[in-house]
Amino acid sequence: MAGVISPRKVIDKEIFNKNERHILEIGCGNGEFLVQLSEARKDYTIWGLDISNFALKKALSRTKNLKNVFLVKSEGKWFLQWITPSFTLDEIYLLFPDPWPGREKRRIVDTYFLELLTSTLKPEGRFFFSTDVEDYFTNVRELFKESNNFNIVDGVNAFYTKYERKWKAAGRKTYSLSVVKKGEFRDSKTYKTFLNYPQKVSLSEDTLLNLTGLELRTKDVFFKIIKTFKSTSGILYKTVFRFRSTGQKQLFLIKNGEIDILPVQAEIYPEPLVEAIKLIFS
């Protein structure tokens, strides 16, 4: 493995098809845990996700010589939702995620996250979670307890992480659990990745320059044009796109009647985003 690959390249190179065993760490930080996973699971493909360039740079320095480790700049839900094939992952680790004090609704583990675990973990696949925030642990445990798709195993932590050492040294208690996906359950929803998008634009230039603030809302989708810029390159749009509880910022460039989606983070253009573009620009 060399460098940090984009989610688009994960699909283009069909990396998921090259091995039947896969482990994912969401929020890999400096990569220390990935090294432990690589050593303990030599016949697995190990995925490390993070959205921080600084963290990925550190992780790369630790893992650059590990052939079974791939680093990807991506948000966890986005990777599970649009990039991971169904029933592919053997293990998923989420260790000491941001608890978002005062903004708990932004925590990654929610009912939708459980749906994504259900659709991407193999039967009998495992999810590992650790935190130093008791109410976060309690909430996560209750979510899994209410689900019919998992069996809970408390107090399981397969490896010893940097954050766990840090909190224990400070005298703070940590909380861990593991859940096992029930064997034969199959989620009715499947998530696909769409790399095509409408290229032709039928609107006049005056109309295109006055789309700032335009919003599209449905039950699951939110799309808004934040800013519009005109330059010699064309008309540039800064937008935000959300699907349920995951999303990203996106840039669009229109030049000579054609639209181009510029890669910002995930470089993946899912069906709801494509449909939003059709509604606005076609």
98 is catalytic: yes
* Single-letter residue type at 227: K
Residue tagged active-site, from 12, 90, 98, 260: 98
pLDDT tens, residue by residue, 250-262: 888 888 888 877 6
Name all domains of the chain by residue range, CATH numbers in brackets. 4-181 (3.40.50.150), 205-281 (no CATH)
Six-digit token string for 260: 């181009």
pTM for the model stands at 0.83
How many Å apart are CA 129 and CA 236, to the nearest integer? Answer: 41
H or E element in which residue 6 lies: none
Query: Mean pLDDT across the chain, nearest whole number?
Result: 85
∠ CA 250-255-259 to the nearest 5 degrees?
45
pLDDT tens, residue by residue, 191-247: 566 666 667 888 888 999 999 999 999 888 999 999 999 988 899 999 999 988 888
How many Å apart are CA 201 and CA 87, to the nearest integer? Answer: 38
How many Å apart are CA 29 and CA 48, to the nearest integer? Answer: 9
